[in-house]
Chains A and B, each alone.
Chain A
Amino acid sequence: MYLLGRLLLLVMLVAAVPAAAKTTVIDDSGTLPYDGPLTLHWQQLAPHRPVDNRMSGTLAVHVRLHVAPWLRRSGRIYLVLPAQQPGPMSASWSTQGRLLAGNLSSGRRALVYSGLITTPFVEDVLQLTLLVDGTQLRQLYHVNFKFEMDED
């Protein structure tokens, strides 16, 4: 009886500890443009004190996420901007409502959806603005983004 009680307590404890959310990169190959060119402009056309050498550009991205594997399940979708060349940068975006607007800096991720996945694809148009340090640009860079799914 004592052993049964300990076992029951252990089961209850295990049940109370939430399992770590599984993170999976979402297939976004339907996104257009998939490698879109972004025209950058100086934040500060002429350098004046304090000098701001950041450059920014905005691009419309039609995001199409293949979320069929999570159909009828709850999850959280994040937009990820991995740390990469040409160095620290940040991104901000607006949406048409299917996904959440937000911003993030490189090396981080931001929540763009939370809830039940009801359709095989999630689509939205993002007005994506990228902010980079202009003095770090030496060549053509392909800045990588990705979407991640955290299952509840």
Chain B
Amino acid sequence: MSPLRRDTLSPPGGAGLHNARRLAGFILCAALLAGASSRVCAFTVSIAPAAPKTVYLQVGVGGFTGNYDAGGTPGNNASVNKDSVSVAAAAVGNGAAQAMTTDSTVGASSYDGYAFCNVPAQLYIGGFYRTTSAGAGSVNVTATVPAALLDAAGNALSFARISWTTGGNGPTGTTTTQPFPAGTFAAGTVQTVGAIGQNQWAESCWSFSYSNTTLPAAGTYTGRVLYTLSAP
């Protein structure tokens, strides 16, 4: 390899030293050179673990463009999905649990597009937690649950009447240990409904049901549960 251009010769300490860091580096290097025949100068690059943490949570319709394994990227989606059931008048309070259905159209995993959940019977929940820490830590997904569902007349129906089972299609869906296990809403609390291991993708399909063990006043009862994924 031959030199392609003429290098600029600028004496140490002259105009070539543009800032204090460079000057400090030169002084340090010069001091080291003064007492040693072998030179020990070396530039460094600083890397820090703080910035690259990432979290993503999808309950129902999500914000993905494409799938992860096809180079898709996560984004925001403001949709709020609804799970509901209409109980026939003759069946109200008979103790037979009533299966609820979702208005979410998402049955495919955002991970790879696999038909993981069966809509409208199941609601997809999935996400990931990206962190630079090593180990087997995890972050929790919580549900902020109001005390009750209300109708237009102000009648209340406890959120504790709603439960869910968990699962999914395929090998990961049929395992007993789901990242988002079965449960029952704890009315008026913030409860943990699942966990996501660090640097892993987690997903489950929830099937909600109404216990139908009480005789509430006739009406349409609504309430909203907020799911949150937070990382330290």
Contacts and interface: CB of A to CB of B under 8 A. Distances in A.
A119 B26 CA distance: 19
Contacts of A97: 4-5
A114 B128 CA distance: 48
Interface string B195-207: 0000111000000
Interface string A48-84: 1101010101010101100000000000000000000
Residue of B49, B69, B73, B134 most packed against chain A (CB within 10 A): B49
Interface string B5-21: 11111101000101001
Contacts of B42: 25, 28, 144-146
Contacts of A64: 16
Contact of B199 (A51, A118, A121): A51
B201 A55 contact: no
Contact of A121 (B9, B22, B40, B133): B9
A25 B39 contact: yes
B44 A145 contact: yes
Interface string A86-121: 100000000001101000000000000111101111
Nearest to B112: A48
Contact of A141 (B9, B39, B41, B46): B46
Contacts of B1: 100, 113-115
Residue of A40, A47, A113 most packed against chain B (CB within 10 A): A47
Interface stretch (B51-59, B151-159, B183-191): B51-59
Contacts of A42: 52, 54, 130
Interface string A27-51: 1111111111111111001111101
B111 interface: yes
Contacts of B44: 34-36, 142-145
B43 A48 contact: no
A49 B111 CA distance: 9
A35 B41 contact: no
B45 A35 contact: yes
Nearest to B49: A137
B29 to A, nearest CB: 4
Contacts of A139: 48-49
A69 B1 CA distance: 19
Residue of B45, B49, B132 most packed against chain A (CB within 10 A): B45
Nearest to B128: A46
B54 A45 contact: yes
B25 A29 contact: yes
Contacts of A41: 52
B221 to A, nearest CB: 37
B3 interface: yes
Contacts of B48: 37, 40, 137, 139-141
11 contacts: A29-B25, A29-B41, A33-B21, A34-B43, A35-B25, A37-B46, A98-B5, A113-B1, A119-B3, A128-B45, A142-B45
Given A86-B47, A141-B47, 9 more contacts: A36-B43, A36-B46, A38-B47, A42-B52, A48-B68, A100-B1, A123-B8, A134-B199, A136-B132
Interface of B: 1-10, 12, 16, 18, 21-22, 25-26, 28-30, 33, 38-49, 51-52, 54, 56, 68-69, 73-74, 111-112, 128, 130, 132-134, 199-201
Interface of A: 24-42, 45-49, 51, 53, 55, 57, 59, 61, 63-64, 86, 97-98, 100, 113-116, 118-123, 128, 130, 132, 134-146
